[in-house]
């Protein structure tokens, strides 16, 4: 439930370390599906206040979705990017993507893109948006490289 996160404890954590560890945890699943799971970052720590457990869950949801909707032989890349006013976290895949007309609806609880053969209940992206919002962030959906797949971009103000 959205209100369940109101009392979540905040502490200082390192975005780079959290994103790298979360990505590493998904490597066995990626290998099992013959998907190239990569991680890109400048390797420098990026400390911010937040709830690392919830933000780890946010990343888990995004990586899980990317692996589910990327075919064997595909690619999924997790990125930590620093900009002057914000930190960007991206999860990009070259899978089936989400049609432009449905991109806002996938953030609704229980909404699922029709025609998907994957299991799920349509909560993953709703949870991602809720956690990002509670941390002052935003989430947006974009075409992947060469307009193939999907790039989910999280933006958090620089601490």
- In tens, the pLDDT along 57-103 reads 999 999 999 999 999 999 999 999 999 999 999 999 999 888 887 77
Burial 29-59 (b: 16+ CB within 10 A, else e): ebeebebebebebeeeebebebbbebbbbbb
**What's the CA gap between 139 and 107, in Å, rounded?**
10
What share of the chain has pLDDT > 90, as a percent? Answer: 67
Average pLDDT value for residue range 1-26: 82
**What's the CA gap between 158 and 144, in Å, rounded?**
25
pLDDT of amino acid 114:
47
- In tens, the pLDDT along 98-135 reads 888 777 767 676 555 544 555 554 567 889 999 999 99
Q: 46: part of which helix (H) or strand (E)? A: none
> Nearest CA to 46 among 22, 91, 80?
80
């Amino acid at each position: 439930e959205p209100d369940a996160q109101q009392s979540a404890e905040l502490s200082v954590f390192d975005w780079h370390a959290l994103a790298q560890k979360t990505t590493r945890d998904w490597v066995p699943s990626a290998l099992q599906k013959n998907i190239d799971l990569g991680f890109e970052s400048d390797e420098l720590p990026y400390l911010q206040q937040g709830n690392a457990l919830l933000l780890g869950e946010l990343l888990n949801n995004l990586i899980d979705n990317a692996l589910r909707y990327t075919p064997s032989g595909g690619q999924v890349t997790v990125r930590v990017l620093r900009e002057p006013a914000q930190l960007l976290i991206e999860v990009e895949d070259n899978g089936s993507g989400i049609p432009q007309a449905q991109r806002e609806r996938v953030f609704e609880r229980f909404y699922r893109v029709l025609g998907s053969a994957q299991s799920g209940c349509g909560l993953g992206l709703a949870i991602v948006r809720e956690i990002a919002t509670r941390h002052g962030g935003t989430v947006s959906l974009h075409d992947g490289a060469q307009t193939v797949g999907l790039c989910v971009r999280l933006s958090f103000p620089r601490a």
